[in-house]
């Protein structure tokens, strides 16, 4: 041992060794791929797994770096937007204050002018959301049927045609019978000389006070079965022409009570021809049940004049009802 060398006390020697180890670790904190593989081989880790682990760690570092950049951009934009908003708010307050100070009170000016109010400038009252609903009363003459023979409404003795969805037919029949007085709340269609349809929201039996309200179907509608129809031909006099909500003719009830249905474009040809008492001949397919007889026409003759069932011309004018 060289006595001329500086002596280090036993008390600080452990601290020297600890600090030296820390400095060594810092200087050797980067390793080559070959060094990692060599170290892995000592603990029996295959080289390909070392490469796979290295790639996954690099991918994680890239994602973390991208997240930090996006977060920094969002924070920067948010701070800038907030500053811009505060600046704009301050400018608005300044302008508003100046405008208020510069402009006289409009209410005071009106009081001085003493201008009488103009009733024509008043805003009209806003209608109630259901203001188009109307209440009707009458006596049920017969059930209305759809082409499948299902009850989808009633015809009143005053000619009003009250319609429900066919899924409510059973409930309607159970509560309302022909001859019963009823009160209906619903949306009226266009009134024409052929009649008027009402889309009912509710119907009340005036004797029992039972009310049936419109409700959606609980199951999806099923396609009609071909076996429910048969070839039919009907003949009689027109007792009541049937109309849709826009006043278009879409059917007729004969004096026998049988109902004939046809498309609106067919009824358009009858606007200037149809009237009560017309002799009607119809052929097509339909059905009969305890509620009546209904036919979906494929051929129609009114007072000896044949009506065309050809598809409508798309260039023709829309159907217009005749009041």
How many other CB atoms are found less than 10 A from the CB of residue 309? 15
Model pLDDT, residue 5: 58
Degrees (nearest 5) of the Cα angle 143, 147, 153?
25
What residues pair up with 233 in beta bridges, in sequence order?
Answer: 283
* Token pair of 123 as six digits: 């805003």
Under DSSP, is residue 137 helix (H, G, I), strand (E, B) or coil? strand
Model pLDDT, residue 28: 56
Find the length of the chain.
323
DSSP 259: E
The answer to whether residues 197 and 161 touch, using CB atoms and an 8 Å cutoff, is yes
The answer to whether residues 321 and 247 touch, using CB atoms and an 8 Å cutoff, is yes
Cα(196)–Cα(87) distance, integer angstroms: 63
Cβ neighbours for 254, distance < 8 A, ≥ 6 positions apart = 234, 235, 236, 237, 238, 239, 260, 280
Cα(35)–Cα(30) distance, integer angstroms: 10
What residues pair up with 261 in beta bridges, in sequence order?
Answer: 251, 296
Greatest CA separation for the chain:
143
Under DSSP, is residue 295 helix (H, G, I), strand (E, B) or coil? strand
| Phi (first) and psi of residue 295, to 5 degrees | -135, 130
Helices (H), the chain: 13-27, 33-42, 47-102, 106-113, 169-175, 264-267
The answer to whether residues 189 and 247 touch, using CB atoms and an 8 Å cutoff, is yes
* Token pair of 100 as six digits: 């208020």
**Which of 297, 211, 199, 285 minimizes the C-alpha distance to 246?**
199
Residue 240's Cβ-side half-sphere holds a number of Cα atoms within 13 Å equal to: 22
Per-residue exposure over 23-43, b if at least 16 CB sit within 10 Å of its own CB, e if not: eeeeeeeeeeeeebbeeeeee
The answer to whether residues 293 and 257 touch, using CB atoms and an 8 Å cutoff, is yes
The answer to whether residues 280 and 260 touch, using CB atoms and an 8 Å cutoff, is yes
Cβ neighbours for 231, distance < 8 A, ≥ 6 positions apart = 283, 284, 285
User: Splitting the chain (323 residues) into consecutive groups of 10 residues, what average pLDDT does each group show?
Assistant: 61 69 60 64 66 76 78 62 55 52 46 44 42 89 94 95 94 96 96 94 96 90 72 95 95 96 93 93 94 95 94 61 43
Cα(105)–Cα(83) distance, integer angstroms: 33
Model pLDDT, residue 272: 87
The answer to whether residues 302 and 293 touch, using CB atoms and an 8 Å cutoff, is no
Cβ neighbours for 204, distance < 8 A, ≥ 6 positions apart = 182, 183, 184, 210, 211, 212
Cβ neighbours for 206, distance < 8 A, ≥ 6 positions apart = 137, 180, 181, 182, 183
């Amino acid at each position: 041992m060289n006595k001329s060398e500086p002596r280090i006390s036993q008390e600080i020697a452990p601290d020297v060794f600890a600090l030296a180890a820390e400095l060594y670790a810092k200087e050797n904190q980067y390793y080559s791929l070959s060094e990692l593989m060599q170290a892995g081989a000592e603990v029996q880790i295959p080289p390909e797994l070392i490469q796979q682990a290295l790639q996954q760690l690099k991918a994680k570092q890239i994602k973390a770096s991208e997240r930090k950049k996006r977060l920094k951009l969002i924070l920067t934009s948010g701070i800038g937007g907030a500053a811009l908003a505060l600046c704009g708010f301050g400018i608005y307050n300044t302008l508003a204050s100046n405008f208020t100070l510069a402009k006289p009170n409009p209410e005071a000016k009106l009081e001085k002018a003493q201008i009488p109010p103009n009733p024509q400038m008043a805003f009209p009252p806003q209608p109630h959301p259901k203001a188009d609903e109307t209440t009707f009363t009458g006596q049920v003459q017969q059930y209305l049927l759809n082409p499948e023979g299902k009850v989808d409404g009633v015809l009143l003795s005053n000619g009003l045609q009250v319609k429900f969805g066919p899924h409510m037919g059973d409930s309607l029949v159970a509560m309302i019978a022909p001859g019963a007085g009823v009160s209906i709340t619903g949306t009226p269609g266009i009134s024409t000389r052929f009649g008027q349809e009402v889309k009912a929201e509710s119907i009340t039996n005036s004797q029992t006070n039972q009310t049936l309200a419109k409700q959606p179907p609980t199951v999806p509608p099923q396609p009609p079965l071909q076996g429910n129809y048969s070839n039919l031909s009907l003949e009689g006099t027109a007792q009541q022409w049937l109309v849709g909500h826009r006043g278009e003719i879409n059917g007729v009830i004969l004096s026998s009570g049988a109902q004939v249905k046809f498309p609106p474009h067919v009824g358009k040809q009858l606007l200037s021809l149809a009237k009560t008492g017309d002799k009607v001949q119809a052929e097509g397919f339909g059905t009969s049940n305890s509620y009546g007889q209904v036919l979906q026409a494929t051929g129609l003759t009114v007072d000896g004049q044949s009506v065309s069932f050809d598809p409508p011309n798309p260039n023709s004018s829309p159907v217009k009802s005749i009041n």
